[in-house]
A and B are shown apart, each in its own frame.
Chain A
Amino acid sequence: MSLLTLRDLTVRRGDCPVVDHVSFSVGPGECIGLIGPNGAGKTTLLRAALGLLPASGDSTLAALPALERARTAAWMPQAREIAWPVTVERLIALGRIPHLPRGARLRPEDRAAVDAAIARMELESYRNRTATQLSGGEQGRVLIARALAQDTPLLIADEPIAGLDPAHQIATMQVFETLAAEGRSVIVSLHDLGLAARHCTRLLMMERGRLAADGAPGEVLTPENVDRVFGVSAFYENTAQGPVFQPMTVTR
């Protein structure tokens, strides 16, 4: 049972294909890392897959009606907008909007989902604070919690751990891992290849709009790929504490 299937998805800006005939399929229980250098088209790919951008090719998610799509996949954009000074709890509760019947207040199951999201992201002490007064990193965690509260089989996040401190970076990746273990799937775009290697079950590597590699971290992060796509050489070893990947020098 596929949660998302892309077939030849292409997004053009003028003549130039920003996303070029990308195809892959996502099943349950996967924690997928979307990696690539700046300008590779990661954000565009995710937005096109969600149907937020016009694209040619097929995306099963984009083909769904809006409400069903919202209950299938939660999207956390890169731009962390919080327009109004709401409390953290209220902000996270916004994730329940696709599930609420017209204009209804939060039902017990909605409150439960919000509480679960707060617990997962360790935001209990932030519940009543004003979201706009938090630091960038704290806001990032709150927005992830919002996506979690949406309680969807698929979670798609665009650079969710950027700006977080190491502890919270690792904790968040562990949350995604746990979700995958529970049977959901997560697609996360990120720049930290080390974290990607340690926590993702599968990596999608993008280069200039094309899908350059698709597979387990060990298969994707070969020295040739890393050199060709990222222009760096790296230290990559499976240690007793799990895989360690550290870019070392610039090759280009």
Chain B
Amino acid sequence: MRLAIGMVLLVAALFVASLLSGQAPVGAGQSLQALVAGDGTPLSVVMREIRLPRALLAAMIGAVLGLSGAAMQGYLRNPLAEPGLIGISGAAALGAVLAIQTGLSLMFPLALPLAALGMAVLAVLLILMLAGPRGASITLILAGIAISALAGALISLALNLSPNPFAAADIVFWMMGSLADRSFTHVWLALPFMAVGAALLASLGRGLDALTLGEDAAQAMGVNLTGLRLRLVLGTAACVGAATAVAGAIGFVGLVVPHLLRPAVGARPSALLWASALGGAAMVLAADIAVRELLPARDLKLGVLMALVGAPLFLHLIYKTRKEMA
């Protein structure tokens, strides 16, 4: 498939560009050589311990966020569904903050992604309960606002109560997201959860296709709706939970990417799943490169760039679908 090949090439190119992006005044060839050689020189350390995990995480996080956005939209049959918008990223961030502030993550490193996953599950369940079968857009967005607001407030509270003088400033990281100075520790922490979550979501293809005709018809075609919902909840929570635990809440990926790619895959939900994964990886890689190239001296947060791109698109989507929402 031409689209698939094109997207894989795009992701690969952006991956390499991400490896070459940073403050070191060295040429591309030299950087890549240092990456492969691994000879303990400072440049090699920078490439292997700082840039490589960052590029990997950008691709992984982008992929799972795109995938979970496409999956949620397919299930809810609503193009506005997106983990960041409907409060799942916020809830996951709350779980991560609680794990850190209670010291749980120090004793037991896996507690960090697990706590984020746990809170994400609660948020997804709440959303499904409120905006359930073919929920109206308005209910979905309102539920998302409520959950985001609650999560944000609780994060603020937890951070302000901390004895650590820097905790309160952490909120910027959690709410806006950042990939700066991530290490392989974070990669290994997130990878198992992302892998399981992605596998669960990838298995939803057929069911989501059938849901194009509505729940009744899909069920009559042999789709197990309960099983589908369970896999959606766990898959989304695992993906978004792990991503948020290591990089903070990064929004809009799951909104922008499926929207842009839907025409290219003929609007089929199953094809949109893998396309959004690749597209999400490309988007986050590109944003992470931009963050480093545009304002290298300042630590521009990833979420800022996402919001600058995503929010206008969101407004555009609202405008386009406003008759249905009335």
Q: Do chains A and B touch in the complex (CB under 8 A)?
A: yes
A contact set with B: CB distance below 8 Å: 47, 50, 52, 66-67, 69-71, 73-77, 79, 81-87, 90-91, 94-95, 97-98, 100, 102-103, 143, 146, 150
A20 nearest CB across to chain B (Å): 22
- Cβ of A75 and Cβ of B217 under 8 Å apart? yes
- Cβ of A52 and Cβ of B213 under 8 Å apart? no
Q: What's the Cα separation between A76 and B213 when bound, in Å?
A: 9
Which one of A47, A74, A98 contacts B216 once the chains associate, using CB atoms below 8 Å? A47
- Cβ of A103 and Cβ of B212 under 8 Å apart? no
Knowing A84-B268, A90-B266 are in contact, say whether A66-B224 is a contact too (CB < 8 A). yes
Residues of chain B lying within 8 A (CB to CB) of residue A82: 212-213
Chain B residue at minimum C-beta to C-beta distance from A61: B220
Which one of A86, A97, A103 contacts B267 once the chains associate, using CB atoms below 8 Å? A86
- Cβ of B217 and Cβ of A70 under 8 Å apart? no
Interface residues of B in 180-224 (CB under 8 A from A): 205-206, 209-214, 216-217, 219-224
Residues of chain A lying within 8 A (CB to CB) of residue B217: 75-77, 81
Knowing A76-B217, A84-B267, A84-B268 are in contact, say whether A91-B222 is a contact too (CB < 8 A). no
Residues of chain B lying within 8 A (CB to CB) of residue A100: 206
- Cβ of A85 and Cβ of B220 under 8 Å apart? no
Q: What's the Cα separation between A75 and B210 when bound, in Å?
A: 12
Residues of chain A lying within 8 A (CB to CB) of residue B213: 77, 81-83, 91, 94, 143, 146
- Cβ of A86 and Cβ of B268 under 8 Å apart? yes
- Cβ of B212 and Cβ of A70 under 8 Å apart? no
- Cβ of B209 and Cβ of A83 under 8 Å apart? no
Please name the 5 residue pairs, one residue from A and one from B, whose CB atoms are nearest each other, closest first.
Answer: A70-B222, A81-B214, A75-B220, A84-B267, A83-B77
Chain B residue at minimum C-beta to C-beta distance from A143: B213
Q: What's the Cα separation between A81 and B222 when bound, in Å?
A: 17
- Cβ of A94 and Cβ of B222 under 8 Å apart? no
- Cβ of A83 and Cβ of B222 under 8 Å apart? no
Q: What's the Cα separation between A76 and B216 when bound, in Å?
A: 9
Residues of chain A lying within 8 A (CB to CB) of residue B222: 66-67, 69-71, 97-98
9 contacting pairs across A/B (C-beta < 8 A): A66-B222, A70-B220, A70-B221, A79-B216, A81-B217, A84-B212, A90-B267, A97-B206, A103-B206
Residue among A74, A84, A95 having the largest count of chain B Cβ atoms under 10 Å:
A84
Chain A residue at minimum C-beta to C-beta distance from B202: A103
Residues of chain A lying within 8 A (CB to CB) of residue B205: 103
Q: What's the Cα separation between A66 and B207 when bound, in Å?
A: 13
Which one of B206, B212, B216, B220 contacts A83 once the chains associate, using CB atoms below 8 Å? B212
Residues of chain A lying within 8 A (CB to CB) of residue B219: 52, 66
Which one of B206, B209, B214 contacts A77 once the chains associate, using CB atoms below 8 Å? B214
Residue among A70, A74, A81 having the largest count of chain B Cβ atoms under 10 Å:
A81
A90 nearest CB across to chain B (Å): 6
B70 nearest CB across to chain A (Å): 11
Q: Is B262 an interface residue (CB 8 A)?
A: yes
- Cβ of B221 and Cβ of A79 under 8 Å apart? no
Residues of chain B lying within 8 A (CB to CB) of residue A47: 216
Residues of chain A lying within 8 A (CB to CB) of residue B83: none
Residues of chain A lying within 8 A (CB to CB) of residue B268: 84, 86, 90
- Cβ of B266 and Cβ of A87 under 8 Å apart? yes
Q: What's the Cα separation between A100 and B217 when bound, in Å?
A: 17
Residue among A74, A82, A97 having the largest count of chain B Cβ atoms under 10 Å:
A97
Q: What's the Cα separation between A81 and B134 when bound, in Å?
A: 10
